[in-house]
Amino acid sequence: MSATGELVSFVRRLDPAGLSDQVLHQASRCVLDVVGVAIAGTRTPMTQISARFASEQFGAGKATVIGSRRPLSVAGAAWVNGNAASALDLDDGHRLAMGHPGAVVIPAALGIAEVTGVRGREFLAAIVAGYEVAVRASVARVPWYKDRMYSSGIWGIFGAAAAAGKLLGFDEASLQSAIGNAASHGPFPPGGLQANYSMVKEVIGWAGMTGCAAALLAQQGFIGPEDVMDYSGRWNPAQLVEGLGDPDRYAILDTYFKPYAVCRWAHSSVDAVLELAGRHGLGPEEIEKILVETFYEVTRLVNYAPRNAIAAQFSIPFALAVALRHGRIEPEDVSEENLLRPEILDLARKVEVFVDPEINSQFPAKTIARVAMQTTRGRFQTTVEYPRGNPENPLSDEELAAKFRSLTAKIVGDRASEKLQAAILGLPRARDVTSLTQLLAF
């Protein structure tokens, strides 16, 4: 059997009834995180533009658009909800995949689950399958493809198509067509971080929408190319399926969750400066220089004058300055207003980033940062191997719930936030997903 065929067979065989409590709980945590971030993301210009576009260009339907009382087609809802989930750069990720599966897979799966009326456990199983396919599609990319293409959407689309196909009850031929359609119609954007100030955001929204469309086309009999992940020269077929099906190694179990509203590559450095400031009682006015030794990719984030909030999410000098000024990095801290504050910009200019060869050799498995702060009281240094939220340094259920409340309560209110959390954590026992989607229409 081809590697593409083995992936398809895995998705079809994955039995919702056979998933462990640990896997179901982790899938529920992923939904909680993505939904909370998406609710907060509805207030961003990026999402508001996307919603206007969708209302004009996509037909009305039965799929809920988060923050709206006007449901759209599944593809239209996936577009808006995916953009909302990625707008604040707070969505989950996978270290080895070097990107964000949840914001692609979950909006796609949610729309299909809502219109098909599947049980909550089936919805979660589709998410587990979607994460597995998406992460493998990233990890198994051949070197030229992996090195030039960082965007989560280019591999997340396979997870969206797989999750949608599973929820639609596809046979192997239809699911293989969905994967082939996704490969043929998916985004193939320029490399790097796509001019970090743009609203493209790793083409996450487009990939979720196109993954849905790939599956819906297959449902109508639109035949995609077979075994596309074997013969296209973009993937190592053996790596695609290595260990496939081992329930202790499901990709979703290695998901990380972000405590800071900036690029994940900056998180180890943020943890380090906050640790040093807290341990030694350092104030921003005492800091003379911040030296960051880390992996090469962080050099892409050395932007001392971000032009808007999106660019600020990808600026490590800005991130460290905000963290030291506020002791946190919430969405409101990465704001247009803060871009103009001299005390933040002055502190940001004290940041210098260097590549350490030994640290660099451990990326992407580890995102290490060694940070030294030269201050008026001397030099202080620490190393962070695993940033907060990594599986090795996880956010507890309580911390993830606190993140959810902080993002949602100010928009929907405390009571509605509590109901949403209960609905999400109750998905393993839910008859369908309407207990959740009804609360998302506001």
Q: Is it true that the peptide bond before 190 is cis, omega within 30 degrees of 0?
A: no
Phi/psi at 338 (5° precision): -70, -25
Q: Which two tokens stand for residue 420?
A: 């949403």
Average pLDDT rounded to a whole number, residues 371-400: 98
pLDDT beyond 60 at 412: yes
- At residue 196, the pLDDT reads 60
pLDDT beyond 70 at 411: yes
- At residue 337, the pLDDT reads 86
- At residue 193, the pLDDT reads 56
pLDDT beyond 80 at 59: yes
- Name the pLDDT band for 255 (thresholds 50, 70, 90): very high
User: Nearest CA to 14 among 219, 216, 252, 231?
Assistant: 252
Residue labelled with tokens 């796609």:
108
Q: Find how far residue 433's CA is from the centre of its chain.
A: 21
Between these two residues, 67 and 187, which has the higher pLDDT value?
Answer: 67
- At residue 166, the pLDDT reads 98
Instruction: Look at strands 287-294 and 255-256 and give their pairing.
Output: unpaired
pTM of the model: 0.96
User: What H or E segment, with its residue span, contains residue 72?
Assistant: strand 72-72
Residue labelled with tokens 């979703």:
252
- At residue 320, the pLDDT reads 98
Residues 227 and 176: their CA atoms lie apart, in Å, by: 7
Average pLDDT rounded to a whole number, residues 83-89: 97
- At residue 148, the pLDDT reads 77
Segment 219-237, tens digit of pLDDT: 999 999 999 999 989 999 9
pLDDT beyond 60 at 83: yes
| Domain range list for the chain | 3-258+398-440, 264-384
- Name the pLDDT band for 356 (thresholds 50, 70, 90): very high
Instruction: Work out whether the CA dihedral 263, 267, 93, 78 comes out positive or negative.
Output: negative
- At residue 335, the pLDDT reads 86
Choose the CATH number for 3-258+398-440 among 1.10.4100.10, 3.40.50.10190, 3.40.50.10490, 3.30.460.20: 1.10.4100.10
Average pLDDT rounded to a whole number, residues 57-79: 97
- The answer to whether the CB of 111 falls within 8 A of the CB of 212 is yes
Q: What is the 3-state secondary structure (H, E, C) of 244-297?
A: CCCCCCCHHHHEECCCCCCCHHHHHHHHHHHHHHHHHCCCHHHEEEEEEEECHH
Superfamily designation of domain 264-384? 2-methylcitrate dehydratase PrpD (3.30.1330.120)
pLDDT beyond 80 at 189: no
Same fold for the domain at 3-258+398-440 and the one at 264-384?
Answer: no
- At residue 187, the pLDDT reads 85
Q: Which two tokens stand for residue 285?
A: 């006015």
Average pLDDT rounded to a whole number, residues 303-320: 94
